[in-house]
Structure 1
């Protein structure tokens, strides 16, 4: 089943209704890449993105980070440190409105493609 993004479907299956591949969840809006920082919650991962912000007063760059909670379908099998691509979707809970759609290889993530 195509989800509207150019991502491969996972090899394993799941019975999660909020899985974009095996359930009825549709994706829309932006896609982001980041690293899984936490898998402590059930069916949820925290994806952390680090970026640089210019500080004109000191003519330097400052590192910032954002942490985005995302739904993790069972069929992806994610762990801490994995680089993933997440897509925006309808609100799934008070804080979750993204879902993990792909686990990205290390060399693709280093080039920064897809943002």
Structure 2
């Protein structure tokens, strides 16, 4: 049966054996994980000595956002990551509070705002939730303040990508907070 079969996957894949091994990616999926922009053919490894930095594709998203050092140091493969994948940040930049991190590489952001009621000359509290892709280079928890940038549609509902953590949450996240 399908449930009885288990596939043993190696945690890390290297291109060379021995002391000079170069870590390619965390192999925790059934398909081989590799960056599309990097060629892992044997000829390149045999021709010259390849360093760890040569086998990692990292780019800057621009807009004054610094590329996190985790994006270049970690060995994750994420084609939807704005720093190591095929996604460009364009359009709006929004900030909000992380509400849930229960999905795989996707978070829900809550954006609070005040809506003016003309009849009563007062404001009422409102909020919107926004799903956003969160790259493995960011370690976010509920309550963190994040900056997200608009990108092409990544799925049916996701149109934004986390590009910066503004402020980490302090203490308990379930406590009452002032709007």
TM-score range with shorter-chain normalisation? 0.7 to 0.9
Q: Out of 64-73 and 14-23, give the one that drifted further.
A: 14-23
Provide, for residues 73-99 of structure 1, a one-character-per-residue CA deviation record: whole Å limited to 9, x for no partner: 000111111100000000011100000
Unaligned 5+ residue runs, structure 1?
A: 107-115
| In structure 1, C-alpha distance between the alignment counterparts of 2:126 and 2:65, rounded to whole Å | 28
| In structure 2, C-alpha distance between the alignment counterparts of 1:43 and 1:105, rounded to whole Å | 19
State the match for 1:113 in structure 2: none
Alignment pair present for 1:53 and 2:115: yes
State the match for 1:5 in structure 2: 63
| Residue pair 2:60, 2:66 contacting (<8 A) in 1 also | no
State the match for 2:156 in structure 1: 94
Structure 1 stretches (4+) deviating beyond 4 angstroms? none
**What is the 5 A alignment of 1:32-51?**
32-51=94-113
Alignment pair present for 1:80 and 2:138: no
Q: Choose between structure 1 and 2: higher strand proportion.
A: 1
TM-score between the two structures when normalised by the length of structure 2: 0.57
Larger Rg: 2
Deviation at 1:47, TM superposition (A): 0.6
Deviation at 1:4, TM superposition (A): 2.3
Provide, for residues 2-25 of structure 1, a one-character-per-residue CA deviation record: whole Å limited to 9, x for no partner: 212211211213321111111121
Unaligned 5+ residue runs, structure 2?
A: 1-58, 169-179
Question: What root-mean-square deviation, in Å, do the aligned CA atoms of Structure 1 and Structure 2 show?
Answer: 1.1
| In structure 1, C-alpha distance between the alignment counterparts of 2:122 and 2:116, rounded to whole Å | 6
More RCO (CA 8 Å, sep 6+): 1
State the match for 2:83 in structure 1: 21
| In structure 2, C-alpha distance between the alignment counterparts of 1:104 and 1:16, rounded to whole Å | 22
Provide, for residues 13-61 of structure 1, a one-character-per-residue CA deviation record: whole Å limited to 9, x for no partner: 3321111111121111000000000001111000111000100111100
Secondary structure at the counterpart of residue 137 of structure 2: helix
